Amino acid sequence: MASNLRSKTNQMASAFNMATIANRDSLLGPETKPDSMSRTVEQDEGLEKLEETLVSTMHIALAVREELDLHTGLIDNLDQHVDVTDSRLQVKTLEIINPIHPTGKYHSG
């Protein structure tokens, strides 16, 4: 019984190996195909176009980055001006609310 199982196991392993080889050959095809060179040329052309697109996209990204850096600086400058103006408004508001007393000090209430 054990020898019968071993022989069946060997037969199945042999069949599996043959099927695997046949499947691989059918998937890969012969080692050289006549139009494989034309496919390679087409792929090379496609890759060159892709490279051109990527380089162009990189240049656009760099230009956008420069523009964003410029705008960030402008916004920071504007933020500083807003802070200064806010401080001035607070001082002027206090001056209006608490007019200066003849003694030179602010008078509250």
CA 58, CA 65: separation in Å to the nearest integer? 10
CA 54, CA 75: separation in Å to the nearest integer? 31
CA 39, CA 97: separation in Å to the nearest integer? 84
Alpha helices in the chain (DSSP H): 2-28, 36-97
| Ordered per-residue pLDDT tens for the chain, 109 residues | 667 767 777 777 776 665 555 555 555 655 555 577 888 899 999 999 999 999 999 999 999 999 999 999 999 999 999 999 999 999 999 888 887 665 656 555 5
pTM over 0.75: no
CA 18, CA 25: separation in Å to the nearest integer? 11
Q: Please give the pLDDT value at position 21.
A: 58
Report the sign of the C-alpha dihedral through residues 7, 9, 15, 20, in that order.
negative
